[in-house]
Structure 1
Amino acid sequence: MNDLDPSLSRDTETAGSPAIRFHPRYLEGVRSGAKTRTTRFRDPARPGPARLVFESDPEVVLPAEVTDIRHCSVSDLTDQDARAEGLTAAGELREVLKIHYPDLAGADEVDVVTFRIND
């Protein structure tokens, strides 16, 4: 946590909230609003306050709200899901998911987590 940069501070309302961890490459997309969803495999989330944690040095934590969680199979991911993740098509989303989850198959169930950053 950095006391000089408010973008690195923890919001008191979400300080004890569950963390959703991200690779730092997603930080700008989340900050800009281009990425409002994340698809997770065996990494449950719950609706309500959350902390989006970007695993960088220093670690960046953004207070957020999980507004929706949809369970579906990988093969049922849509182009709309991809666009909400800052991508263009469902096939591209599936390819990116394979980077994070190499053993992921089309029949596997995932959670599509929709969130918004708290200002």
Structure 2
Amino acid sequence: MLYPPETRVLDAAREQARALRGDPNHTVAAAAMDTLGRIHTAVNDYPFTGGPCAELVVLGVAAAAASGPLVTIVAVGDGDRDVIAPCGRCRQALLDKHPDCDVIIRDGDQLGPVNVRSLLPHSYRHPDAEPERFVRFSAGYFEAVRDGRKTATTRLNDPCEPGPAWLLFEFDDVYRRLPGLIDSVVSKRFDEISDDDARLEGCERADELRAGLRGHYPAITDADTVEVVRFHVTGAVG
């Protein structure tokens, strides 16, 4: 399932692909959205010595625009190929530079976003990459996080690390972000979530928080490991 921001990214890539018009040196288009909601587009370059894929070119285009971390990316082939999955080299580059980015791929007849980490299980991690990070939130939490009433989030299979990170809020068709700092990340069993954890998230009791998490993660079990991420806002809306 694609949400409106992801649909905008896909539409931009498809439009760029249609503009290629059978050029044998440029056969794939890519589009990527940053945390400000800006969309960057590019195409591959295929000289006789070989050349960069469209995904790698769009990373450079976005970097030249001082985009910061990328939220969503997709590649579209020319002709009737439509959405295509990134090659191994592109997956590694995305993981190194934008580990929180979602990639739109085709799964059977369905299109949907998956995090780039899931495209490279047991992957190599570049020790000097130091990518800019972000953490996704539902738009409904924006005011509570901005005002300091919510200073924790509990995640399942969504790794976070201590350090600077954008706190990204996904409204229907736009993003809003706050500069933040991840103070700590503690792993625990789902059934070990405490009342203290709940209060940091704006809930009164642990069972209230667990009920909300079950709504967000329907398949979660008491034995699953979650990460309790504590953070604070460090500045004004970006």
Q: Deviation per CA, 1:50-109, whole angstroms, max 9, x where unpaired? A: 011000132101110000001000100000100000111000000010111000111100
SS in 2 for 1:103: coil
- 1:115 corresponds in structure 2 to 231
- 1:50 corresponds in structure 2 to 165
Q: Which residue of 92, 100, 108 corresponds with 2:208?
A: 92
SS in 1 for 2:135: strand
Q: Which runs of 5+ in 1 are unaligned?
A: 3-14
Structure 1 stretches of at least 4 aligned residues deviating more than 6 Å after TM superposition: none
Structure 2 matches for 1:15-34, cutoff 5 A? 15-16=68-69, 17-34=132-149
Q: Which residue of 175, 182, 195 corresponds with 1:79?
A: 195
Alignment of 1:65 with 2:173, yes or no, is no
Larger radius of gyration: 2
Q: For the aligned residues, what is the CA RMSD?
A: 1.3
Q: Work out the CA distance in 1 between the residues paired with 2:152 and 2:168.
A: 14
Q: Which residue of 125, 149, 155 corresponds with 1:40?
A: 155
Alignment of 1:101 with 2:101, yes or no, is no
Amino acid at match of 2:207: G
SS in 2 for 1:88: coil
SS in 1 for 2:154: strand
Amino acid at match of 1:23: S
Comparing both chains, which one has the higher relative contact order based on Cα–Cα distances under 8 Å and sequence gaps of 6 or more?
1
Percent of aligned pairs sharing the same letter: 41
- 2:107 corresponds in structure 1 to none
Q: Work out the CA distance in 2 between the residues paired with 1:101 and 1:25.
A: 17
Q: Which runs of 5+ in 2 are unaligned?
A: 1-35, 38-67, 70-131
Count residues with an aligned counterpart.
107
Amino acid at match of 1:49: P
* TM-score between both structures, scaled by the size of structure 1: 0.86
* TM-score between both structures, scaled by the size of structure 2: 0.44
